[in-house]
Structure formats: structure tokens, C-alpha cells
Amino acid sequence: MRMLLNLLIMLAVAYLAVVLLVYLGQPRLVYFPEKQLSNTPGAIGLDYSSVNIATSDGETLHSWWMPVPDAKGTVLFFHGNAGNISHRINYLAMFKRLGYNTLLFDYRGYGQSSGVPSESGTYLDAQAAWRYLTEAKGIAPAQIVLYGESLGGAVAAWLRVENLDCWCWLPHSLQFQTWPQSYTHSCRYAGSAVLITIHSNPCNR
């Protein structure tokens, strides 16, 4: 009986140790940032400016702002969990062809942005990018499209719930087994990013 009890205690301790390690190592299991930029929009002939955006907790986000003449709207782009903004330059070209300004930014810890990636930090980064567009650029919320790629889709959906007057567009690459009901009511799910302009009014709850 004592041997069984000791075995159960050992198994419980081992289980708790594994749970603790997974909990402490969550950021490394989710976020795969790269610090080195591999290219810039200028390499493919795009006009852009580098922008540093301050977050509410003192971090600085490196961003690229690409304006287009007579824009139909503005895309706020949330990239996935790996790489950095230099791996998403082709999106800028696509949105330019569609007639949209685009703000492409790196989360904290990615590319030239300061800080260390975390879930709570990612939400603060999203809010900072939103404030840059609505306050510094003076763009009306109803003219902003939140576009999420992979992990960025969850961030875009979260921000959409916080700001009901904007669009939320999630490309086909976003797939979750579970999806919060509030997000489902507030966001449109699309099979192709090319359909970004098919409606004239923002989606509402």
C-alpha cells in the first residue's frame, strides 16, 4: 500500500512539474519572432514610411505605413506568430492593387519592435496600432479593415469586439477548433482575401 501511495505521489509531482514547465514556457511555444528584416517594401517598388508606435506600457512597435491615392479604406494588418513584417510585403502589394492604405506592424519582440512577446502584450500592441490610425492619422473607425493572418486573426477578432465600428476580415488560413460566440457575431469569415470589398457596411453584432 505504501509503495502504491509513493508511486501516486511521484506521478503527481511529475505531472505538476510538466504543467509548470508548459505554463512558464507558453510564449516560446506560441511565438516565433525573427529580429532580422529580410526586405522592405521599397524593394518591390512600394512607397512607404517607417513608423514607430508607442504602446501604453512603454514598448515601441516598428511599423510600415503604405498610403495609396484615393484610398477606399485602410487595412490594419495583424500577422501570424512567426517571422516579422518583412515576410508579409506581398500583402502590401495586394492591398495597394485593391486600393487600400495599409498599416503593417510588428508585435513586441518581433523585427525591430522592442519588448518580449506575450498574449497580454499582443493585445496592447493591437490597441496601440488602432490608436495610431484613429488618432495620429485621424482615420474614421468605419473606414478601417482589421485583417488577421493565422494567430493575427485572433488578435483582429479581439480588437473588433472592442471596436464595433470597424470591419474584421479573417482569411481562409485562420482555423480554430473553438471560436468564441462574441467573435462569431462580430466578424465575417472569408474563403479568399480578394473579397475584402464585397460589402459596404461594417459588420455588427
Statement to judge: residues 24 and 68 lie in one domain? no
Statement to judge: residues 11 and 100 lie in one domain? no
Statement to judge: residues 157 and 97 lie in one domain? yes
Statement to judge: residues 154 and 129 lie in one domain? yes
User: Is the per-residue pLDDT at 177 higher than 50?
Assistant: no
Statement to judge: residues 2 and 51 lie in one domain? no
Sequence-ordered alpha helix ranges (H) in the chain: 2-24, 26-30, 89-98, 119-131, 151-162, 181-186
Give dist(CA 169, CA 195) in Å, integer. 9
Statement to judge: residues 135 and 183 lie in one domain? yes
Per residue in 115-141, pLDDT (tens digit) is 999 999 999 999 999 999 999 999 998
Statement to judge: residues 86 and 157 lie in one domain? yes
Query: For a pLDDT cut of 70, what percent of the chain falls above it?
Result: 67
Give a yes or no: residue 174 inside a domain. Answer: yes
> What element of type H or E holds 167?
strand 167-170
Statement to judge: residues 182 and 160 lie in one domain? yes
Per residue in 77-126, pLDDT (tens digit) is 999 999 999 999 999 999 999 999 999 999 999 999 999 999 999 999 99
What's the pTM? 0.74
State the total domains in the chain: 2
- Which residue range is the domain that position 146 belongs to? 34-195
Averaged pLDDT for residues 163-169:
60
Statement to judge: residues 90 and 153 lie in one domain? yes
- Return the CATH number at 103: 3.40.50.1820
User: How would residue 186 be classed by pLDDT, with cut points 50, 70 and 90?
Assistant: very low
- Of 22-31, 70-79, 129-138, 152-161, least confident by mean pLDDT is 22-31
